[in-house]
Amino acid sequence: MGGSAFKDKRPVYLNLFKIRLPVAAVVSLAHRLSGILMFLAMPFIVYLLDLSVQSSAGFEQAMTLLQHPLLLAVQILLVWALAHHLFSGIRFLLIDADLGVDRQAANYSAWLVIALSVLTTVIVSLGLLL
Amino acid sequence: MSLYILEGLKPWVIQRVSAVYIALFLFYSLYCGMNVEIVSYTHWRGWLFHPFNSIAFGIFVVAVLFHAWIGMRDVILDYVHDIMLRLFFLALVMGVLVGSGLWVIRILLFSMVE
């Protein structure tokens, strides 16, 4: 962190409409966002796990809780988070292994990650809602 | 000044090894779940407290805790620059993870006997 040693006098240009993130950056950012979302959900998921194994009544209570409209919305969000985190994680591991590093392949796989995670979310959501 | 926690434990490697285990466990659970028509209380307990699944799940939880710690730590170190705020958020994350981990240990140890 620069602090007072750097008195930066350069003009700051921050027009958000002029900044276009490449799709790989969007995937990377969404990887972080989805990770944070799942971290925030963790205590509640452990609570549901506890409830579901305590007793037959607790299991039913957990199942009823999951039917609540608000929690259905949260589940759909978390399904997206898990799917995106998983698919983009696999993409990062492949890039670590030197697979698909060139720009064209990286762009293609980034779009593939977005498509697969949205598709998974839609399929699982239909299963949850129907 | 910055905080380098877990620096000596090669977090980069831990993050990737835990990621692979988490993915494998998720695919295994999904496979098990797809072979069941309706999930009942007895089925669910039977699956989770089966010795193999209990151990696999226990390792999964440890992997998730390490993975989440390194991930959240990286995000905090990237975006929170104030040292006190940074300490605050790191402690908060650590508290949530340790709390969740102890809770799961309690579930696995004490809920096994009905």
B91 contacts chain A (CB < 8 A):
no
Residues 6+ apart with CB under 8 A from A1: B1, B2, B81
Do B68 and A39 count as a contact with CB atoms less than 8 A apart?
Answer: yes
Per-residue pLDDT tens digits for A44-83: 999 999 999 999 999 999 999 999 999 999 999 999 999 9
B24 confidence band (pLDDT: 50, 70, 90) = very high
B107: nearest CB among A42, A49, A55: A49
Q: ∠ CA(B101), CA(B102), CA(B107), 5° rounding?
A: 95
B5 confidence band (pLDDT: 50, 70, 90) = low
Per-residue pLDDT tens digits for A84-111: 999 999 999 999 999 999 999 999 999 9
Q: Pick the closest to residue B83 from B11, B28, B24, B2 (CA basis).
A: B2
B9 confidence band (pLDDT: 50, 70, 90) = low
- Residue A38: Cβ within 10 Å count: 19
Per-residue pLDDT tens digits for A4-58: 556 677 777 777 777 778 899 999 999 999 999 999 999 999 999 999 999 999 9
**Total residues belonging to chain B:** 114
For testing contact with chain B, the best of A33, A37, A38, A39 (most B CBs within 10 A)? A39
* Whether the predicted pLDDT of B66 surpasses 70: yes
Do B19 and A93 count as a contact with CB atoms less than 8 A apart?
Answer: yes
For testing contact with chain A, the best of B21, B38, B41 (most A CBs within 10 A)? B41
Q: Which residues of B touch A86 (CB under 8 A)?
A: 23, 26
Spatial distance between the Cα atoms of A79 and A87, rounded to a whole number of angstroms: 12
B24 contacts chain A (CB < 8 A):
no
Residue with tokens 């750097």: A6
Please compute the mean of the pLDDT values over residues B42-70 and round it to a whole number: 96
Q: Which residue of chain A has the CA closest to B19?
A: A89
pLDDT for A46: 98
Q: Which residue of chain B has the CA closest to A28?
A: B75
Q: Pick the closest to residue B44 from B31, B55, B32 (CA basis).
A: B32
Please compute the mean of the pLDDT values over residues B82-92 and round it to a whole number: 97
Q: What does pTM read for this prediction?
A: 0.87
Residue with tokens 């989440």: B68
A residues 46-105 lying closer than 8 A (beta carbon) to B: 46, 49-50, 52-56, 59-60, 82, 86, 89-90, 93, 96
**Helix, strand or coil for residue A114?**
helix
Do B68 and A96 count as a contact with CB atoms less than 8 A apart?
Answer: no
Residues 6+ apart with CB under 8 A from B64: A42, B18, B22
A42 contacts chain B (CB < 8 A):
yes
A33 contacts chain B (CB < 8 A):
no
Q: B45 to chain A nearest CA, in Å? A: 6
